Amino acid sequence: MPAPVLQQARILVVDDEPANVLLLERVLQRGGYTNVASTTDARCVLQLFQEARPDLVLLDLRMPYIDGFAVMEQLQPRIATDEYLPILVLTADITAAARERALSGGAKDFLTKPLDATEVLLRIHNLLETRFLHLQLQGQMHVLEEKVAERTQDLDLARLEILERLSRAAQYRDYDTGRHAQRVGELARLLAGELGWSAERLALIRQAAPLHDIGKIGISDALLLKPGRLTPEEFEAMKAHTVIGAGMLSGSRSPLLQLAEEIALYHHERWDGAGYAHMEGEHTSPAARIVAVADVFDALTHRRPYREAWPLEDAAKHIRKEAGLSFDPDVVSAFTRVLAHLSEESCTSDPAEPPRAVPEPLAVVGGPHGGGTI
């Protein structure tokens, strides 16, 4: 490393002998080091250290009030574990015990008194070179970490966009154009939040819930777009979208896709066990029980070709009536609280602003497809 770079280093000299301090200052000046702070009073070291933020400390061991060992003890908590901050000990006491104690206290090297100017400069050069290389390496690691974080974020965004477009593709084959899936995601997130889910899991359900009907990609248009009521056989065929969707999402190591798989598979199960696969109560996934409520509420409150949208109050009443039957009672309680919060928010919002809608809900009780969402 070029000497001019090292000569920018900040150096702190601590020795109770003014003559030693003066000598070291002159030696350092001769070596081209100009950022030097010094003290003969060890009690001032801590403050000086915090002010000067040195790259190197030259420290005497035998001093009144506080000796060099105690000074190192004071400094240690202020030196980050991943920071290489050399302490060069100046001592006439070169016993093995003193060396061992100094090394374990944080010293990186020793200089024996009386000091030799050439040796002082060489040791200082070596220690500073190591420190600066360490800092350089840390800087490069920081840049690399930032680049990795940036790329990871890009990948996450690309993955989310692909999932959103995939769910939109499935919805295009149905009576909506993708907004239904996103509304279900948003309502599912609100419900999960009310149920105390962590921020990380809230983000997951928000992203996974819109994929609940992804399996409809595997259902024929003749069924999906049939204007009239489905026959029992057709209804059975339509039910396969849960298994198809789960199959499309299965086998991933991504927590997001694993959650999406659960939701796709179980979102038509009922709390009383009368759903598609007759899975009862808590035997399904908590996320799917949340999505089941969000899915039906959104379906009811939005228009379909074969019926008008239900008023919010009627749809909410239906959801509450189904607690313990179609739906997990805890999720229904959370749903009631979410609606109350939303309605409070719309009451307290600026009257000039349009009232904030409940995240647009989805599909069909009593529709031509035979009641409930599909």
Q: List residues near Fe ion by CB under 5 A.
A: 213
Tokens found for residue 366: 């009593």
| Comparison of 128 and 374: residue with beta carbon closer to Fe ion | 374
Helix (H) or strand (E) holding 109: strand 109-112
Q: How far is the CB of 345 from Fe ion (least distance, A)?
A: 29
Q: How far is the CB of 186 from Fe ion (least distance, A)?
A: 17
Q: How far is the CB of 281 from Fe ion (least distance, A)?
A: 20
Q: How far is the CB of 267 from Fe ion (least distance, A)?
A: 6
Instruction: Note the Cα 252 to chain centre separation in Å.
Output: 20
| Pick from 268, 153, 281, 288: nearest CA to 208 | 288
What's the one-letter identity of residue 258? Q
Tokens found for residue 14: 């601590």
| Comparison of 16 and 213: residue with beta carbon closer to Fe ion | 213
| Comparison of 213 and 298: residue with beta carbon closer to Fe ion | 213
Q: How far is the CB of 173 from Fe ion (least distance, A)?
A: 13
Q: How far is the CB of 295 from Fe ion (least distance, A)?
A: 7
| Comparison of 15 and 213: residue with beta carbon closer to Fe ion | 213
In contact, 166 and 337? CB cutoff 8 Å: no
In contact, 325 and 271? CB cutoff 8 Å: yes
| Comparison of 194 and 213: residue with beta carbon closer to Fe ion | 213
Q: How far is the CB of 83 from Fe ion (least distance, A)?
A: 56
Residue 356 sits at φ, ψ, to 5 deg, of: -75, 125
87-91: strand order across its sheet: 35-39, 10-14, 56-60, 87-91, 109-112
What's the one-letter identity of residue 179? R
Query: Which residue has tokens 């949340």?
Result: 290
| Comparison of 129 and 218: residue with beta carbon closer to Fe ion | 218
Instruction: Note the Cα 54 to chain centre separation in Å.
Output: 35
Q: How many whole angstroms separate alpha carbon 1 and alpha carbon 188?
A: 58
| Comparison of 86 and 275: residue with beta carbon closer to Fe ion | 275
**What is the crossing angle of helices 68-75 and 96-105, to 10°?**
20
| Pick from 254, 253, 172, 251: nearest CA to 213 | 172
In contact, 90 and 57? CB cutoff 8 Å: no
| Comparison of 55 and 328: residue with beta carbon closer to Fe ion | 328
Inter-CA distances, 260 with 206, 249, 292, Å: 10, 7, 13
Nearest residue to Fe ion on Cβ basis = 213
Q: How far is the CB of 239 from Fe ion (least distance, A)?
A: 9
CB < 8 Å & 24+ apart, contacts of 174-178: 174/213, 174/216, 174/224, 175/304, 175/305, 176/302, 176/362
Q: How far is the CB of 373 from Fe ion (least distance, A)?
A: 6
| Comparison of 44 and 224: residue with beta carbon closer to Fe ion | 224
